[in-house]
């Protein structure tokens, strides 16, 4: 269930880099309370089937808004969709172990206005590892200084329980959007067009999202 979905339409490659959502899926550090729950509420009575889903807003591939770490901060419904639809760049950081530092990003093709997606060994992992590769605060500051509009990582968290969440704060306090839970195993590094649309949950600090990359041949 964790494989990337790759489609080809005429001269357009479409990479679905979202995690599937289902009971028993990988969740952050395998915490039971984060597992999706489902209930069949109508099983073809009167000819229809309906289900109820209970989801954590940080389920699978999801987008963090400032309210995640900033009291009174903007929510996912407040996000500017123009920042989530447009050009992005996948960086190859598969040689990195433990954490991504500013030094790991030195020399990488990062430009003002880029939405940066960080491809690491996480994309080959199950997705619920306690010791996933994360982005440290120095690397977050490096990307913020470079003027990126967003950062995505192929782990269910962009940092691993750092005190006071400095990576989140460094990015979100500057209006830089965070996407977590990407699956980039089949995606070569390079430039793409991205569509990343969070559910329109009013008042939510995060929301699950379907994220796809488009690449013209």
How far is Cα 206 from Cα 152, in angstroms, rounded to an integer?
14
> In a 3-state reduction of DSSP, which class is residue 191?
strand
How far is Cα 215 from Cα 49, in angstroms, rounded to an integer?
37
pLDDT at residue 7, rounded to an integer: 59
**Could you say which of 58, 62, 68, 142 is catalytic?**
68
Active site residue 68: yes
> String of b and e for 43-62 (b: at least 16 CB within 10 Å)?
eeeeeeeeeeeebbbbbbbb
What are the pLDDT digits (tens) for 102-160?
999 999 999 999 999 999 999 999 999 999 999 999 999 999 999 999 999 999 999 99
pTM of the model: 0.94
How far is Cα 63 from Cα 178, in angstroms, rounded to an integer?
6
Q: CB within 8 A of 3, min separation 6: which ones? A: 186
Q: Where are the beta strands (DSSP E) in 136-187?
A: 150-153, 177-180
Mean pLDDT per segment of 10 residues, for the chain of length 217 residues? 56 93 96 97 94 97 97 96 96 97 96 97 94 97 98 97 95 97 97 97 97 90
Question: Looking at domain 5-216, which CATH architecture does it have?
Answer: 3-Layer(bba) Sandwich (3.50)
Q: Count how many Cα atoms sit within 13 Å of the Cα of residue 62 in the half-sphere of its side chain.
A: 24
Name 42's bridge partners: 50
């Amino acid at each position: 269930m964790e494989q990337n979905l790759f489609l080809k339409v005429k001269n357009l490659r479409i990479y679905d880099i979202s995690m599937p959502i289902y009971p028993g899926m990988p969740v952050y550090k395998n915490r039971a309370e984060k597992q999706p729950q489902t209930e069949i509420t109508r099983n073809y009575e009167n000819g229809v089937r309906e289900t109820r889903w209970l989801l954590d807003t940080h389920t699978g591939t999801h987008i963090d808004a400032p309210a995640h770490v900033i009291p009174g901060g903007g929510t996912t419904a407040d996000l500017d969709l123009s920042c989530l639809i447009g050009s992005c760049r996948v960086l190859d950081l598969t040689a990195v172990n433990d954490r991504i530092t500013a030094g790991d990003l030195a020399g990488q093709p990062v430009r003002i206005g880029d939405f940066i997606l960080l491809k690491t060994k996480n994309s080959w992992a199950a997705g619920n590892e306690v010791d996933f590769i994360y982005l440290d605060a120095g690397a977050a500051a490096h990307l913020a200084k470079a003027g990126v509009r967003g950062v995505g990582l192929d782990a269910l968290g962009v940092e691993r329980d750092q005190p006071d969440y400095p990576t989140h704060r460094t990015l979100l306090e500057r209006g830089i959007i965070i996407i977590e839970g990407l699956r980039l195993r089949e995606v070569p590094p390079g430039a793409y067009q991205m569509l990343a649309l969070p559910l329109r949950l009013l008042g939510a600090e995060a929301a699950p999202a379907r994220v796809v990359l488009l690449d013209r041949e």
